[in-house]
Amino acid sequence: MPQTIHRGIKSLLDEANAEIETVSATEAIKAAQDPGVVIVDIRDPREIEREGRIPGAFACTRGMLEFWIDPHSPYAKPIFQEDKKFIFHCAGGLRSALAAKTAQDMGLKPVAHMGGGFAAWRDAGGPIEKWEPKKKT
């Protein structure tokens, strides 16, 4: 018997967008100049390699987000313990809305997500740098 899905992705996205701050790509481009702001790229490394990345962005794949934010996790990243504003982005703005809500629910603040994601950043003329994975030796 198939399992019934009680809450679909639209419901989750609507809830996230109602509870978190959304910044435009133009606002994020300006905010990225502020040393008190961290741009968090939650895309998969293959996406970053293919499309490029925002200079200075902190890469945190969506799958590790909760583990890297929680200071009690063995995988905790010190950057998430800093007193900064975290602006999450993905490719198009859907995963980052969910990630920002999760981060906020975990107590990380202030957080926001960039509406339209990396595509909006690129289209707004934001700087992009090529990224290549470290070569295995």
Q: What pLDDT digit, counting tens, does each position of 20-59 carry?
A: 999 999 999 999 999 999 999 999 999 999 999 999 999 9
Residue 5: is its pLDDT beyond 90? no
Domains of the chain, earliest start first: 31-123 (3.40.250.10)
Per the model's pLDDT, the better-predicted residue between 118 and 5 turns out to be 118
Sheet holding 21-23, edge to edge: 21-23, 111-114, 85-89, 37-41, 58-59
Mean pLDDT of the chain: 94
Reported as a pLDDT band with limits 50, 70 and 90, residue 137 is low
Give the residue, 94 or 131, on which the prediction is more confident.
94
- 3-state secondary structure string across the chain: CCCCCCCCHHHHHHHHHHHCEEECHHHHHHHCCCCCEEEEECCCHHHHHHHCECCCCEECCHHHHHHHHCCCCCCCCHHHHCCCEEEEECCCCCHHHHHHHHHHHCCCCCEEEECCHHHHHHHCCCCCECCCCCCCC
Which tokens in the block code for residue 4? 């019934």
Q: What is the pTM of this model?
A: 0.91
Task: Identify the pLDDT of residue 6.
Answer: 74
